[in-house]
Amino acid sequence: MKYFILVLAATFLLAGCDGPASPEYVEIRNMKFKGIKNKNIKLVADAVFSNPNNFGVKITQMECDVFVDGKKSAFVQQELESTMPANSEFSVPLKIDVPVKKAFKGLGMAIGGIFKKKKALVRMTGFIRVKMAGVGMKIPFDYEEEYQVKLFGKGEDLENVELEKVD
């Protein structure tokens, strides 16, 4: 009888407890131009995730493909050593190198023109890898946003790029 009560109590406790929930992708924030180096446009952004658990989650890796106007322009892979705090949102900093040729191939800079404006649809799809209680899992994300892109320079010799979200 004593064991029956212990088994019954353990069953109720386990049935009332949900297992750990997977952190969720929220959005990409703060995409910014950081410069041009070796004919690559340097961008930074923050991938924001939410951790609904009462314990922290270790983030170990991030991978994503970057598409500009439907064409794959870059692959990003970063090894990370961050902890996503319990019951909170957390951002993972992204560093993205996009080759100028791939990103704006169809733009056609005007000969003699100083700058050109274009709307570009940027899509980032990938995952972060996390560890919860020693168990690894992938959390997918898929982000798409239209940006007004202003290019300053001629052809591939860009001097500056401005990004602005299109509302």
Domains of the chain from N-terminus onward:
20-165 (2.60.40.10)
Using an 8 Å Cβ cutoff, are 4 and 12 in contact?
no
As given in the structure block, the two tokens for residue 130 are: 């996390």
Q: Please choose, from the candidates 26, 84, 16, the residue with its C-alpha nearest in 3D space to the C-alpha of residue 51.
A: 84
Q: Which residue has the tokens 């990370």?
A: 80
**Distances in whole angstroms, Cα of residue 32 to Cα of each of 43, 74, 155:** 6, 16, 21
Spatial distance between the Cα atoms of 95 and 76, rounded to a whole number of angstroms: 8
Written as tens digits, the pLDDT of the chain (167 aa) is 554 444 434 443 334 455 677 788 888 888 888 887 887 888 888 888 888 988 888 889 989 998 888 888 889 899 988 888 999 998 888 888 888 776 665 444 433 334 456 788 888 899 989 887 788 888 888 888 888 877 666 555 556 666 677 77
Using an 8 Å Cβ cutoff, are 99 and 64 in contact?
no
Tell me if residue 58 falls in helix, strand or coil.
Answer: strand
Model confidence, pTM: 0.67
- Calculate ∠ Cα 94-98-99, nearest 5°: 160
